Amino acid sequence: MPELFKMPQATPTMEVGTIAKWRKAEGDALKPQDVVAEVETDKAVMEIEVFDSGVLLKILVEAGVEVPAGQPIAILGKSADEDFSALLASLGGAAPAAPAPAKASPAASTPSAAPTPSPEKGVAAPVARAPEGGLRPFTWAGEAVNSAFMELPTYELGLLEAAAGAAEGPGSGRAAPAARRAARALGIDLDAVHGTGPRGRVLRADVEAAQARPAAAPLPPAPAAPKSEAVKNSNMRKTIARRLTAASQEVPAFYLTAVFDCDALVAFREQLKGAGLAVSYNDILIKGCARALVAVPEVNASWGDEAILRHKAVHVGVAVALPDGLITPVIRDADKKGLSTIAGDMKDLAARARDRKLMPDEYTGSTFSISNLGMMGIEQFTAIINPPEAMILAVGGMQREPVVRADGSLGVGWRMRVTLTCDHRVVDGALGARFLAELRKLIEKPALLAA
Amino acid sequence: MDAATQRGPAQAEAQASPHSAVHTQGGLLPLPTQSSLPAITRDELLGLYRQMALIRRVEELAAKAYTQRKILGFCHLYIGQESVAVGAAVATKGDYWMAAYREHGHAMAKGTSARAVMAELYGRRDGASRGLGGSMHIFDREHDFLGGYGIVGAHVPLAAGVAFAAKYRGEGRVALCYFGDGAAHQGAFFEALCLAQLYKLPAVFICENNFYAMGTPLHRQSALADMSLRADGIGMQRDAFEGFDVELVRERVARAADYARAGNGPVMLEIVTYRHRGHSMSDPAKYRPAGELEQYKEESDPLKITLRRLTEDFGVTEAELEALQAGVEAECEDAVAFAEASPIPDPADLYRYTYAPQQTTMGVGEAAPTFTIPALRAQKEG
Amino acid sequence: MATLQIREALRRAMVEEMRRDDRIFLMGEEVGHYNGAYKVSQGMLEEFGEQRVIDTPISENGFAGLGVGAAMVGLRPIIEFMTWNFSLVAYDQVINSAAKIYQMSGGQYSAPMVFRGPNGTAENLAAQHSTSVDSLYAHFPGLKVVTYCDAADAYGLLKAALRDDGPVCFLESELTYGMKGEVPDEEHIIPLGQAKVRRAGRDLSLITWGKQVFTCEAAAKQLEADGIDVEVVDLRSLRPLDHQTLFASVAKTRRAVVVHEGHLFAGVGAEIVARLQEALFDVLEAPVLRVTSRDVPQPYASNLEKLVNPDAARVVEAVRKSLGR
């Protein structure tokens, strides 16, 4: 029996999702845990899976279209020849959603994009692809040669393998090395390039064409080559580059700097230590930020064209440096966790982050982030927002300084400088200041945190 | 220094020891002085003559087709040497044969049809080796003709192996191996003879000494004129004779085959012969002294010698010979027509003959052939 | 389950097959009265007699060719090379005769036989006794080239080779003849052309065969400590090549390093790399690397010899290079 496949509720807060990409085509066989599509949610691009064997009979919602969770996006069946016309009719006359022109990706708007046979035109049903990957023997004059001995057989990637192959790459994963290199040099996002090579492989010429299309500007003249060494970008490096470039280009950010009096904080931590609790300043900051986010819920939010999403949960991301990049493990529901729980979670997450053993849901879905370079001797800095979050707190090192106390006397005190980067689309200056004020209260009177 | 009489210390020691210079007890048995064959009859000799004439005519037509580029690659003709293969075949009809690359005549003497040979030269599907072997690799399993080899001397060990199998299964069959004077310098040839003698294999090694290894005359490639003397260093029985008279070849090869078949061990023969043409179709054979070829053609052409015997001693008439020649002509024309008409190999078969299909079962506990295996050596030492 | 030395496992395979099939005989230098240069054929002369366990003079070209001839007319010889180094004087027979006879006779004659003996490096045997012949034989269509790493595979694969209807080059290792391993008591046959995944992993595939399997397993263990999880694939036969297992492994891990004895230049690794990139171009995350014997004749001195042979450290280094960490 054919059945409807609906937009899943991929995250707790997800209300709508946009199909970023179909990873399976109509007629493709499906195995349990096959990723069929990528869906952009409020938090991230999620891979959505199926859990039954069968066939993707019909795609109802094309890539680029936003649909509410729970709305049908495809029809699945057990075999390719199942009749799903009744099911299709039951959806009402509504034609399958077409991509909104404004959101159309370059690939989708390219006329030569892989055409799907249209059933309305009565053309032959799409040929079901072989469900399993594997060898296709070398054939000679129509007969299979026992190519284990001789000539090279071809190898069709299994669906799972193909998906795995694409999982880390920016796009389908099918891009010639020459194209990847060209894309890197030209600053082109491979995701946005339509591949004309075999099986949709992006070729160098495709990258060059993509470069020529948006702006006919000539390439800048090559400067005299400096003596330099090319260090290949890891996928992590590329992801960082892509996301932060986008953030710095798209997010209208402003910065708020504050100096916190940390004398009480130092005493508080000593007190915890005395009680046998190993809690870092950073752990205390996590907790403080979480509480401040609860107190100022307007900032625990994300920008959307139609609406600002206010997150009900408080998930605090903490940037952890790795040898070739950084990752932001997430303390979920940090507002509800005690300090020692946060400390324990953070220790575990940081350790596993360095070993690259984090599960995706351990580094995605944060609603606010902290970047702390205090231990690196940095006094003060600004951080770039980690979309779709609205704010990130850059934390400098605590240091002893000459201070003027409230009573006007001079003395020496512990001070810490923090800079809050805010997405002005979500957070205005006063709102950001309110958050900082709330945080200051908690840091300067840490006893409140224990409350 | 006379290499044949030189004795090293090991040899001297061996002679002083209880071992004789040759391990075979009592030395080598002599070759029989008379073969088991009956005296040749008029009809038999006429048949041998026809076979030689057929081989010659096939070779001539092959040369013609070669000049028309219908036969390609290397093509080595047997013209002038026909008596060797044809005479040897009489006593070894049911035995195994193996030859080098000048083997069209050997294949036909062993029973392969002119059609199959010509079609193979044409590279056609009905050729002896299905068009895959060509001039140098004619095989005919039906007639136990085990090929046609292109690496000089390298097939001699294979022939020893065939003889080994014949002995291992107690078949009473002999392996005949043909090669030229050029092959008698190859290591493989020596090794094969050593093994054959050591295991007393039923083999007859026939060196067709036509005096030229490609373009190099015998005196420039060998200090030894009689190639059969190679056998002496190996402790093998040998014989040497001129092979232009098919009757003589018939008798002397039969003696050697009888000897080997009886379990006395292998024999090496040198059969002196002469090729009328160059090494291959691309060799104009300018290296021969003036008049040599003409002299051999006049005095030592196997066809002429047998023709004379047929007419002078057996009273074969001109008319009989004309009829015979017409028959040969017709057979050859048919062979050419057959080759021309035979389809080229099916490209679909390109991969078919690279790996023999697996027929033996991999199932555990399944039976395989068993038979009685005779002792490898007639007498066990010590 | 019996614990056998590899030489015993090989012997058991030969003995069992010779008992069931009279067409099989063993021929080579010192195989009979000496009981084998490496004692693989110990006791076989006693059981089968001189008819079937046949000592030869030192004439590889001769007895390898003899084997081919015997195979052509229906016997199934086992031709033992005391080491594969010596097969080079019989190379012509293996290549020009055994490998090609079926094709050049238009399918009329084949050479069902096994050429076997120790291959590759042992220890301090210097230039002429340390050759890995893998690529020399794997190059030619018509031959099968098989190897093993442990006793169970040695037994099961040699059984299959002895029943194969074509010529098989069976590559053994002097260094591991004495290595013990479990071999099932019941008869078993491992079909040729089936690679074995010795260790499953997700980060990278080590493609190897012969005793280098152990080098790879040692490297895998070292890498495991650093959280790098590599798969070890023992090809077991170079021809026929198990493309399915090879490609499936690399399609999964998306990275590969080929590890083998024998030189880098035009070695079998080059062929594996070529096949991987042809079949899996879109999947590979990094160039497929090779760790092989270095491109020099084997030196005698121990320190130099160690530099030449593949070792776990070089494998680890290649894996890290591929993974970029």
CATH of the domain at C304: 3.40.50.920
| C33 in active site | no
A contact set with C (CB within 8 A): 133-135, 146-150, 152-155, 157-158, 161-162, 164-165, 168, 173-174, 176, 199, 201, 232, 234, 323-324, 355-357
Question: What's the total number of domains in chain A?
Answer: 3
Q: Specify the CATH number for the domain of residue B125.
A: 3.40.50.970
Rounded CA-CA distance A34/A161 in Å is 10
Residues of C in contact with B98 (CB under 8 A): 69
- B348–A143 C-beta distance less than 8 A: yes
* Residue matched to tokens 């050419």: B336
Residues A42 and A173 in one domain: no
Residues C103 and C239 in one domain: no
- C325–A323 C-beta distance less than 8 A: yes
Residues of A in contact with B348 (CB under 8 A): 140-143
The pLDDT assigned to A230 comes to 77
**Between B154, B366, B376, which is nearest C50 by CB?**
B376
Rounded CA-CA distance C118/C134 in Å is 11
The DSSP bridge pattern shows strands A309-310 and A325-327 to be unpaired
Q: Work out the end-to-end distance of chain C between its first and last CA atoms, rounded to an integer number of angstroms.
A: 42
**Between B165, B356, B374, which is nearest C166 by CB?**
B356
Question: What's the total number of domains in chain C?
Answer: 2
Confidence of residue A12 (pLDDT cuts 50, 70, 90): low
Buried/exposed A138-156: b ≥16 CB within 10 Å, e otherwise: bebeeeebbbbbbeebebb
Q: Which of B351, B353, B354, B355 to mutate to test the interface with A (most CBs of A within 10 A)?
A: B351
- B357–C165 C-beta distance less than 8 A: yes
Task: Name the active-site residue from C8, C60, C217, C231.
Answer: C60
The residue among A49 and C17 whose pLDDT is bigger is C17
Residues C169 and C209 in one domain: no
Highest mean pLDDT among A211-225, A229-243, B160-174, B366-380: B160-174
**Has residue A215 got a pLDDT over 50?**
no
Confidence of residue B183 (pLDDT cuts 50, 70, 90): very high
Contacts of B362 (CB under 8 A, 6+ apart): C160, C163, C189, C191
Q: Specify the CATH number for the domain of residue C74.
A: 3.40.50.970
* Structural domain for B160, as ranges: 41-215+223-345
Confidence of residue A38 (pLDDT cuts 50, 70, 90): confident
- C227–A148 C-beta distance less than 8 A: no
* Residue B83 host element (H or E): helix B82-89
Is A239 domain-assigned? no
* Residue matched to tokens 């054979």: B285
- A161–C248 C-beta distance less than 8 A: yes
* Structural domain for A7, as ranges: 3-121
Name the closest residue on chain A to residue B346, using Cα atoms.
A141
Is A421 domain-assigned? yes
- B168–C25 C-beta distance less than 8 A: yes
Name the closest residue on chain A to residue B357, using Cα atoms.
A146
- A324–C244 C-beta distance less than 8 A: no
Structure tokens at B1: 């220094």
Sheet with C289-293, side-by-side order of all strands: C196-199, C230-234, C204-208, C256-263, C289-293
Residues C134 and C276 in one domain: no
Residues A198 and A308 in one domain: no
Interface predicted TM-score (ipTM) over 0.90: yes
CA distances in angstroms from B243 to A118, A164, B250, B275, B314, listed in the order given = 84, 76, 9, 12, 21
Which chains reach chain B with 3 or more Cβ–Cβ distances below 8 angstroms?
Answer: A, C
Q: How far is C175 from chain A (nearest CA, A)?
A: 28
- B348–A141 C-beta distance less than 8 A: yes
Is C226 domain-assigned? yes
User: Pick from A168, A195, A217: which residue ends a domain?
Assistant: A217
Question: How many contacts, defined by CB atoms under 8 Å, are there between A and B?
Answer: 18
> Each residue of B277-291: pLDDT tens digit?
999 988 888 899 999
Residues C15 and C155 in one domain: yes
Name the closest residue on chain C to residue B351, using Cα atoms.
C103
Residues A151 and A188 in one domain: yes
| A424 in active site | yes
Rounded CA-CA distance C307/B99 in Å is 49
Q: Give the predicted TM-score (pTM) of the model.
A: 0.68
**Has residue A137 got a pLDDT over 90?**
no
Confidence of residue A101 (pLDDT cuts 50, 70, 90): very low
Is A242 domain-assigned? no
Name the closest residue on chain C to residue A234, using Cα atoms.
C324
Residues A351 and A414 in one domain: yes
Mean pLDDT on B345-365: 89
The answer to whether residue A130 neighbours chain B at the CB level (below 8 Å) is no
Residues A94 and A176 in one domain: no
The answer to whether residue A150 neighbours chain B at the CB level (below 8 Å) is yes
Is A271 domain-assigned? yes
Residues A281 and A392 in one domain: yes
Mean pLDDT on B241-259: 98
The pLDDT assigned to B381 comes to 42
Residues of A in contact with C320 (CB under 8 A): none
User: Pick from A170, A200, A217: which residue ends a domain?
Assistant: A217
* Structural domain for C313, as ranges: 196-323
Rounded CA-CA distance A164/A68 in Å is 28
DSSP secondary structure string for all residues of C106-154? TTS----EEEEEE-S--SS-TGGG----HHHHHTSTT-EEEE-SSHHHH
- A142–B351 C-beta distance less than 8 A: no
**Between C65, C109, C189, which is nearest B192 by CB?**
C65
The answer to whether residue A140 neighbours chain B at the CB level (below 8 Å) is yes
Is C220 domain-assigned? yes
Residues C18 and C159 in one domain: yes
Rounded CA-CA distance A110/A106 in Å is 6
User: Pick from A193, A217, A241: which residue ends a domain?
Assistant: A217
Is B68 domain-assigned? yes
- A142–B348 C-beta distance less than 8 A: yes
Is B369 domain-assigned? no
Structure tokens at C180: 């013990």
- C283–A153 C-beta distance less than 8 A: no
Q: Minimum mean pLDDT among A49-53, A213-217, A359-363, C246-250: which range? A: A213-217
Residues A106 and A160 in one domain: no
The DSSP bridge pattern shows strands A134-136 and B216-217 to be unpaired
Which chains reach chain C with 3 or more Cβ–Cβ distances below 8 angstroms?
Answer: A, B
Residues C148 and C24 in one domain: yes
Is A127 domain-assigned? no
Question: What's the total number of domains in chain B?
Answer: 1
User: Pick from C122, C155, C183: which residue ends a domain?
Assistant: C183
